[in-house]
Amino acid sequence: MPSPHDQAGLPFRLQLLRPDHAVALLAFERENRSYFAASVPDRGDRYFADFGARHRALLAEQATGGCLFHVLVSAADDEVLGRVNLVDVADGSAELGYRIAERAAGRGLATSAVREVCGLAGAEYGLTTLTAVTTLDNAGSRAVLARTGFVPAGETEVDGRPGLRFVRNL
């Protein structure tokens, strides 16, 4: 099967998180730290200092089936362009979360990757419902969720900020 493409036509692959992603994933997180902190709480210095142990813990959690962590990599050079995760997997549902590198933002990459994970969630993981949350001021994230079939399901708070909860039946 050919690789999906973002709107600029660049091929990418969505991969389930593996041990060998650690170096590229850490580089992605460091490179985009300030960009992400503009819309979501910063992970803090400890996250980066303890990254190896944290990566191993995520893999152990994934092995239990409680979470499914994905990385979005460039087909050209395996550079990590984003993350798309399903957390709190239970009873046929999970919460979707994602982040895309600043240099890859605005090209449809998040929309394509979220669509792909939604397909995997239903076909491969046996899920029937996905939820997601975003802050009211994150118009880009709200647009991605709307384009990928999520519908607003109520107001919420996201790290002390007003937000919306979304749901998608698979």
Edge to edge, the sheet with strand 68-74 lists: 12-16, 68-74, 80-90, 93-100, 129-135, 161-169, 151-158
Domain 12-169 has CATH 3.10.20.600: no
Q: What is the sign of the dihedral through the CA atoms of 14, 21, 78 and 100?
A: positive
Report pLDDT digits (tens) over 72-131: 999 888 899 999 999 999 999 999 999 999 988 888 999 999 999 999 999 999 999 999
Query: How many angstroms separate the CA atoms of 89 and 61, rounded?
Result: 11
Note the pTM of the prediction, 2 decimals: 0.88
Helix (H) or strand (E) holding 31: helix 22-31
Q: What is the sign of the dihedral through the CA atoms of 161, 143, 91 and 13?
A: negative
> Is 144 in contact with 132 (CB distance < 8 Å)?
no
Name the phi and psi angles at 102, rounded to 5.
-55, -45
**Residue 1 — pLDDT band, cuts 50, 70, 90?**
very low
The domain locations on the chain are: 12-169
